[in-house]
Amino acid sequence: MSAATIINGTNGTNGQVNGTNGKNGVSQSSQNMCSYEECDKIAQHLLSKTRHRPKIGIICGSGLGGLAESVENKESFSYKEIPQFPVSTVPGHAGRLVFGKLGGKEVVAMQGRFHPYEGYPLSLCTLPVRVMKLMGVETLIVTNAAGGLNESYEVGDVMVIKDHINMPGFSGNNPLIGENEDKFGPRFPAMSSGYDRNLRKMALEIGKELKFDNFMHEGVYVMLGGPCFETIAECKLLRICGADVTGMSTVHEVIMARHCGMRAFGMSLVTNKCVMDYDEDRKANHEEVLETSKRRGEDMQKLVTKMIERIEV
Ligand SMILES: O=P(O)(O)O[C@@H]1C[C@H](O)[C@@H](CO)O1
Ligand SMILES: Nc1nc2[nH]cnc2c(=O)[nH]1
């Protein structure tokens, strides 16, 4: 079964799937996985519609789509127009694929990503990553909005992702579940070098040059399934586990990128401090997330644009 069969004809917001297990004990996520050939068809379709030939792909986090807006010579495609793509359902995720130039390089940017809590299986959330690969993308840059677990992080701080904790993976939820597509990558990919060391170093150096070092860190991102924000006990547990920030995205995208040999770089904006104290009345909310993204978005855009200027393609 292809991804197309689980999305209705209008490709509306109901690309969500039912929860049943497939035939022969094959899990739902493998059934929803597009084959190499199907991904290639989407990639060739997009390349036939744009004159751009991007080597760098970008995925913009909640409220951080301004980066895609700043792309020059834009050619944009609503996800609704792209065969087999899901659609964005979350405020702050415009739902467009933007081709053009940034920092003097050809890029393709997702202005809006797909999260598992929207009802999409991880394999469908990450379809665009494989499509990017087949369009020629070699480096993936992802941003996200995240809650600060590290007590020394403030709202508005930026964290270069050094490593991640794949919490959904602990319960058997991984975008690579199902038959392996050997043409993309190996059955058992290593994940000990998920986030490219040189790109991390470059980001921190550029941060210094831009005088951003007073609000920049390097640390560990933990992904949870959402859509609930964390309980206080969960936050305490995640901190003990070594996480500095928590979010609901990124990890599945980076797994997919690394599986097919792309270089990956990720950056989190601390949009809120996680509530860690039972005497606090503060509550996490998406409005605060979008408000912080608006405030710090331009700085993150500057940083990513400078990185792209320096990345050799
Ligand atoms: O897409 P990202 O990870 O930036 O979005 C975060 C996680 C949830 O989707 C949302 C919660 O406010 O922001
Ligand atoms: N899981 C999670 N995701 C977020 N995205 C932005 N803030 C948060 C948060 O506090 N928790």
The model's pLDDT over 49-105, given as tens digits with 9 standing for 90+, comes to: 999 999 999 999 999 999 999 999 999 999 999 999 999 999 999 999 999 999 999
Show Cβ contacts of residue 30 under 8 Å, excluding neighbours closer than 6 positions.
22, 123, 177, 178, 179
Q: Are 284 and 272 in contact (CB under 8 A)?
A: yes
Q: Any idea what DSSP says for residue 197?
A: H
Q: Are 253 and 129 in contact (CB under 8 A)?
A: yes
Per-residue confidence (pLDDT) for residue 30, from 0 to 100? 55
The model's pLDDT over 98-136, given as tens digits with 9 standing for 90+, comes to: 999 999 999 999 999 999 999 999 999 999 999 999 999
Q: Are 258 and 121 in contact (CB under 8 A)?
A: no
AA identity, residue 220 = V
pLDDT band at 33 (very low <50, low <70, confident <90, very high): confident
Domains of the chain and any CATH numbers:
3-10+22-310 (3.40.50.1580)
Ligand 1 near 252 CB (within 6 A): no
Position 289 pLDDT exceeds 70: yes
Calculate how far, in angstroms, residue 27's C-alpha sits from the geometric centre of ligand 2. 28
Show Cβ contacts of residue 275 under 8 Å, excluding neighbours closer than 6 positions.
232, 235, 282, 283, 284
Ligand 1 near 90 CB (within 6 A): yes
Q: Pairing between strand 56-59 and 105-111?
A: parallel
- Active-site residues, by number, are 62, 93, 115, 117-118, 145, 248-249, 272, 286
Q: Which helix (H) or strand (E) segment is 3 a member of?
A: none
Per-residue confidence (pLDDT) for residue 12, from 0 to 100? 38
Closest atom of ligand 2 relative to the 284 alpha carbon: 10
From 125, 143, 144, give the residue whose CB has the most ligand 1 atoms within 8 Å, as the site to mutate: 144
